[in-house]
Amino acid sequence: MLLSVALGILVGLIMGLTGAGGGVMAVPLLIFGLGLPIADAAPVALLTVCLAAALGTGLGLRTAHVRYRAAAFMAALGMPGALLGAWLGRRIANPPLLLAFAAVLAITSVRMLLLASASALRHGRGTAGRSAPCAVDRASGRLRWTPVCAYALGGAGFIAGTLSALLGVGGGFVIVPALLRVTDLDMASIVATSLAVIAVISGASVLMAGVAGHALPWVIALPFAAGALLGLTGGRHAARHLPAAHVQRAFALLGLLVAALMAYRSGLVWAPGAGA
């Protein structure tokens, strides 16, 4: 139980600091740290991410950082993606899923490294200072929606929903880069909006996993989720005092290491024919 709490705290810290990556790291921690197969780790990770993201969303709403229209739009398009991911998850064996997860984590980590080197991120903003397809109207304070903006954010929501149900991830690693690319929101708003989308998509994916017959191991899930809530609170506080680029870079390097371990564990890269 203590190990579950400790690993959950680590997941919450990552979510609070980056607005993404909680689910991506939760599954490997549950697999390597607690010995769960991916079929059991995914719903535990989703429940944890859902609760932690809901807490972060509540805090973000209180400080008026959540762009709720953008969050609702992305979450709505994430629902059909989650249905697709749940359908695929029932038809793909464990080793290919592990390898797919490793690939997703590696791509996420490389993207994080690229974002960390961008001057916009170093200054704590998205695309501030240049024209953005979904810029904030300074008169109304709302995002100005364009076809490019709707396509990018809607597509990100759909992909996040698919990967959430398929691999047990929250999808923030898709949502945060999309918001950075097409809006001029500051990082506080991007993180809070990402958490709002993650909360809805992860919650729906947990329900779909239950309907599909994946029972949660509550003795692990509850302490893990409790630790994540504690970690999220600390992560949000620490995020105000740490350079965003340094946080993103550290997460990316850790993610690349874990991706390599996941690929090895899958038994499809260095040990053909081995079980996961």
For every residue of 120-145, DSSP letters joined together read HHHTTBSSTTS--TB-B-TTT-SB--
Average pLDDT, the chain: 79
pLDDT at residue 76, rounded to an integer: 94
Query: % helix / strand / coil in the chain, to the nearest 5?
Result: 75, 0, 25
Query: Sorting pLDDT into bands at 50, 70 and 90, what band is 20?
Result: low
Q: Are 201 and 164 in contact (CB under 8 A)?
A: yes
Identify which of 50, 15, 44 has the alpha carbon closest to the alpha carbon of residue 28.
44
pLDDT at residue 126, rounded to an integer: 44
pLDDT one-digit tens code per residue, 116-174:
666 444 444 444 444 678 888 887 778 888 888 899 999 999 998 998 888 777 777 78
Tokens of 233: 């609170």
* Mean pLDDT calculated for residue range 232-252: 74
Between 64 and 248, where is the model more confident?
64
Most confident region among 69-78, 180-189, 210-219, 246-255 by mean pLDDT: 69-78
Q: Please provide the size of the chain in residues.
A: 276
pLDDT at residue 17, rounded to an integer: 76
Query: Sorting pLDDT into bands at 50, 70 and 90, what band is 268?
Result: very low
- First and final C-alpha spacing in the chain: 24
Q: Which CA distances in Å does 132 have to 113, 143, 184, 243?
A: 22, 10, 6, 23
pLDDT at residue 32, rounded to an integer: 84
pLDDT at 47 over 60: yes
Containing 175, the helix (H) or strand (E) segment is helix 172-182
Matching residue, tokens 């998205």: 126
pLDDT at residue 109, rounded to an integer: 79
pLDDT at residue 244, rounded to an integer: 67
pLDDT at 275 over 60: no
pLDDT at residue 78, rounded to an integer: 92
pLDDT at residue 219, rounded to an integer: 87
pLDDT at residue 21, rounded to an integer: 62
Query: Sorting pLDDT into bands at 50, 70 and 90, what band is 232?
Result: confident
Return d(Cα 15, Cα 12) in angstroms, integer. 5
pLDDT one-digit tens code per residue, 91-100:
887 778 778 8
pLDDT at residue 128, rounded to an integer: 44
* Mean pLDDT calculated for residue range 23-37: 83
Return d(Cα 250, Cα 247) in angstroms, integer. 5
Between 264 and 203, where is the model more confident?
203
pLDDT one-digit tens code per residue, 76-115:
999 999 889 888 877 887 778 778 878 877 887 787 777 6
* Mean pLDDT calculated for residue range 55-62: 82
* Mean pLDDT calculated for residue range 20-26: 71
* Mean pLDDT calculated for residue range 5-27: 79
